[in-house]
């Protein structure tokens, strides 16, 4: 396979996902939030590198719209994202 004129290594792990949330890559710590039940509708996603500060869903017009979420963190019990849910 070639991309932008560069050979792609044959030992690259295939891209996989869980409910369309990225997983299985080198940095497989992704957090995905879905608008509708069944992991449908609009999806907001961040990887661990962007979770050092709080993420305000209101900044993305996504407040009070999350019905499901996926965390694809693997083998990283000491790191992760703290999810605080407010029902107001």
What backbone phi and psi angles, to 5 degrees, belong to 32? -125, 135
- Residue 80: predicted pLDDT: 54
Segment 48-64 shows an average pLDDT of 78
pTM for the structure as a whole: 0.60
Segment 2-9 shows an average pLDDT of 42
Give strand ranges (E) for 1-88: 2-3, 6-7, 16-18, 21-23, 30-36, 40-47, 68-71
Q: Is 31 exposed, middle or buried (0-12, 13-18, 19+ CB in 10 A)?
A: buried
pLDDT at 47 over 70: yes
Say what percent of the chain tops pLDDT 90.
1
CA distance 46 to 69: 12
């Amino acid at each position: 396979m070639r991309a932008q004129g560069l050979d792609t290594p044959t030992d690259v792990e295939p891209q996989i996902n869980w409910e369309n949330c990225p997983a299985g890559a080198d940095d497989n710590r992704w957090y995905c939030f879905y608008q509708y039940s069944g992991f449908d509708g609009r999806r907001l996603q961040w990887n661990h590198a962007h979770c050092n500060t709080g993420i305000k869903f209101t900044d993305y017009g996504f407040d009070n719209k999350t019905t499901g979420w996926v965390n694809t963190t693997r083998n990283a019990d000491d790191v992760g994202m703290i999810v605080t849910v407010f029902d107001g």
